[in-house]
Amino acid sequence: MPAVSDFHYLVVPHTHWDREWYLPFEQFRLRLGAVVDGVLDTLESDPSFTSFTPDGQAIVLEDYVGVRPENEGRLRKLLAEGRLEVGPSYVLPDEILVGGESLVRNLLLGRRVCRRFGVEPSGAGYLPDSFGHPAQLPQILAGFGIRIFLFSRGMGDEIDDVGVFFRWRAGAADVVACQMLPHYDNFARLTWHNDAEDRVRGIVEHLGDDVQRAGQREIVLANGSDHLPVEPELPEILRGLEDTFGATFRIGRYDEHDPDPEGLPSYEGELVGSRLQNVLRGVNSARIYLKQANERAETRLLSIETAAALRTLREDAPFPADDLRLAWRDLLRNHPHDSICGCSCDEVHRDMLVRYEQLDRTLDYAEREALGVGGAFVNTLPFRRCRLVDGELVELDGFSGGRPEPLAGQRARFDVDAIADLLVFEDEPDSGDLYTFCPDGKATPARLLASRREGDALVLEHELPGVRIETTIRAIPGLDRLELTSIVENEADDHRLRVLVRSDRGAREVRAESQFAVVRRPLTPPPPRVRWVEPPVPTAHTLGAVALGPLVLLTKGLPEYEASSEGLRLTLLRCVGTISRGPGMETRPVGAGPQIATPEGQCRGRHVLEYALRFDGDSLSDAALVRASQDYRTDFLRGDPFEPPLALGGDMVFSCLKQAESGTGLVLRVFNPNARPETLTLDRPLHRLRLDEEQDADGGLELAPGEIGTFLVGD
């Protein structure tokens, strides 16, 4: 067993700051003022207390100055001296429930806010409390020059293969991933020397072998936790530890941690395991209405941004960068993990709906400015598409605006009566909470009350105790998908409502849309090798598309699915009334948060839920699968007619077209989710940039498997 003196110790005093959670934002903001006051006082009075990390999110700077404007000068002075570590993110998001472009804008805005306060963002990808991490996060971080990733939640049995330090890869990029040992509070709430000594001995006893096996000598001790104040006595405690152990204990920043990557094992894929810590992915289905609102907002904002860029290309019109940056900021403020996850008190989520409504007003203005008021439809995706508009099928080229020209002679490709036989609505009791589903009985299939025709659509009415469902199945002529809308009237509590789309043509794996990727998950995951802190669950997450063999499920803001030999189950509602139940739940033995009642989490009332089906999944590349999802989610906008100002080709996925961060030129971002290289074609010159747009990038127009490409568009 290694000794304490075999290591040296980087002690990072910090606070993890949830802007809103079991209290609304306004109350946490006042507490933040008091906590940062204490930090400023301590750093100014004690030069040996060399630095403090007020979490990995730059929004803390804005929030503090909002409540203590008179202290902005003191804050800026300590930032300039390097004694406060801030960023690199704007907020600490749930990385899985928001789109890939939102993760990029989060880092872009975090950098901008840090620089506005006169400091560079932290060089560490410090994401301590996110409930798992998507497979492409290493490429996103590396694209901002970030080479180290510190995390707490997400490790599963891969820890046996890669340990607590490893090279986490995505495409050709990687970061050194560092599992906190074992959490971001491993050195919090110290009482004095004896407690600190016991804490260090316990970490070395349980995890020292893992650190040595990775060839590392430094252990990070995180002196802080949720909303905790600074501990002014920390330097004196550390001097006592040095006398006791004969080892070095120094106060520092997370970006001073510099593990040696030489010889570290590699890992590719998501980090969504719960072997060491709860990962709490039951949040995928908590307060579904928030996920729907966010999907609508992200899709609309990206569409308007693209339309503005297309107008700049064709008319040399100024790009409304400030207006759209404000919109992105307002959207990102709904992305903290306790917010978008739906696991906060009811006041928080009422506030979120107001913020989404306010964002819509901003986008109403931005849309009028970007598109004009003409009578044309505008396609903001780069490929030719059809939409049903006011009962007529309209087709447009990519990146174009045109007058409605209804297509005649198209026939529906599906028999809606046959499709109806594939659907089974089922409900099951849920004794869990906003973090975790916990079954409390068997699922009950819904009773079919009525079936009727309405034109080309079939309407089904189902009933369950306290739940009524009206589902419209529409086969639209000329489209490859079948569109469904389920209107649910929910008056029941503590249950989960799902629809099973049956399929007898199984597959060994399921493909699911993720951030800048399509991930493959086994239909039957291997059982845990050891007992996990939180047992794995059969449900998983998607940004919008899931394919099981030929069956494809497309969704709008419905991120939770379960794949099995029966087919695909889609969660429509999960209704529970507590932030967190106490320890001892079958599906989560360890508690997750405060036991606060959240009656609005029961989601009573009317819900409109949209999803679609295709049956050609076997013929769709990963890129084509994501394009099908984009096509379904993205409506035509209304504006002036115009010819396409650029044409994009290649079997890859469009992500954004926006003004460059420098303010000069436009940036195009695409990604290649396929397992083979793909070549981008564009009828304009392109210059390759790093993801953060601050450096040139290697490579031309060919994108390697899994690669994200960012390009400056020339004239």
Strands 218-223 and 8-13: parallel
Q: What are phi and psi of 201, to 5 degrees?
A: -60, -40
**Residue 699's pLDDT band (cuts 50, 70, 90):** confident
E strand or H helix that includes residue 715: none
Tokens standing for residue 209: 């072998």
What confidence tens digit (pLDDT) does each residue in 414-433 have? Answer: 889 889 999 999 999 999 99
Q: Which of 18, 63, 129, 174 is catalytic?
A: 129
Model confidence at 216: pLDDT above 90:
yes
- Give the DSSP letter string of 442-477: --EEPEEEEEEEETTEEEEEEEETTEEEEEEEEE-T
Contact 301, 323 (CB under 8 A): no
Name the residue with tokens 């420098």: 662
- CB-based contacts of 488, cutoff 8 Å, min separation 6: 467, 468, 469, 497, 572, 573, 606, 607, 609
Model confidence at 641: pLDDT above 80:
yes
Which residue segments constitute the domains of the chain, with CATH numbers given? 21-259 (3.20.110.10), 416-632 (2.70.98.30), 646-715 (2.60.40.2220)
What confidence tens digit (pLDDT) does each residue in 135-163 have? Answer: 999 999 999 999 999 999 999 999 999 99
Model confidence at 409: pLDDT above 80:
no
What confidence tens digit (pLDDT) does each residue in 223-271 have? Answer: 999 999 999 999 999 999 999 999 999 999 999 999 999 999 999 999 9
Nearest residue to 430 (alpha-carbon basis) of 268, 602, 230? 602
Name the residue with tokens 């209804």: 406
- CB-based contacts of 691, cutoff 8 Å, min separation 6: 104, 139, 140, 142, 143, 144, 708, 710
Cα atoms in the Cβ-side hemisphere of radius 13 Å centred on 675: 5
User: Helix 288-315 to helix 100-116 angle, to the nearest 10 degrees?
Assistant: 70
For residues 417 and 692, give the distance between their C-alpha atoms in angstroms, rounded to a whole number.
50
pLDDT at 142: 98
**C-alpha torsion 292→356→514→592, nearest 10:** -80
**Residue 404's pLDDT band (cuts 50, 70, 90):** confident
56-83 average pLDDT score: 98
Exposed/middle/buried for residue 110 (C-beta within 10 Å: 0-12, 13-18, 19+)? buried
Average pLDDT, the chain: 96
As a whole number of Å, the end-to-end CA separation of the chain is 64
592-609 average pLDDT score: 98
**Residue 441's pLDDT band (cuts 50, 70, 90):** very high
Model confidence at 193: pLDDT above 80:
no
pLDDT at 208: 97
Cα atoms in the Cβ-side hemisphere of radius 13 Å centred on 184: 25
In the chain, the percentage of residues whose pLDDT exceeds 90 is 92
Q: Is the peptide bond before 182 cis (omega within 30 degrees of 0)?
A: yes
Model confidence at 219: pLDDT above 70:
yes
**Comparing 19-28, 397-406, 436-445, which segment has the lowest mean pLDDT?**
397-406
Q: Would residue 63 show up in a list of annotated catalytic residues for this protein?
A: no
Strands 148-151 and 173-179: parallel
Order of all β-strands in the sheet with 567-575? 444-445, 423-429, 495-502, 567-575, 560-564, 540-541
Model confidence at 482: pLDDT above 80:
yes
Tokens standing for residue 484: 């469904």
What confidence tens digit (pLDDT) does each residue in 372-394 have? Answer: 877 899 999 999 999 888 877 88
Whether the pTM exceeds 0.85: the reply is yes
Contact 507, 471 (CB under 8 A): no
CB burial readout 46-76, b (16+ within 10 A) else e: eeebbbbbbbbbbbbbebbbebbeeeeebbb
Name the residue with tokens 């009206």: 470
Model confidence at 210: pLDDT above 70:
yes
Q: What are phi and psi of 704, to 5 degrees?
A: -70, 165
Tokens standing for residue 697: 């990038």
179-195 average pLDDT score: 91
- CB-based contacts of 70, cutoff 8 Å, min separation 6: none
670-680 average pLDDT score: 98
Q: Is the peptide bond before 88 cis (omega within 30 degrees of 0)?
A: yes
Contact 290, 271 (CB under 8 A): no
Contact 131, 94 (CB under 8 A): yes
Nearest residue to 608 (alpha-carbon basis) of 289, 168, 205, 299? 289
74-85 average pLDDT score: 98
Partner residues linked to 385 by β-bridges: 396
Partner residues linked to 609 by β-bridges: 486
**Residue 408's pLDDT band (cuts 50, 70, 90):** low
pLDDT at 456: 82
Contact 410, 424 (CB under 8 A): no
Q: Would you mind telling me the total number of residues written for the chain in this entry?
A: 715
642-655 average pLDDT score: 97
pLDDT at 194: 78
CB burial readout 156-169, b (16+ within 10 A) else e: bebbeebbbbbbbb
Model confidence at 406: pLDDT above 70:
no
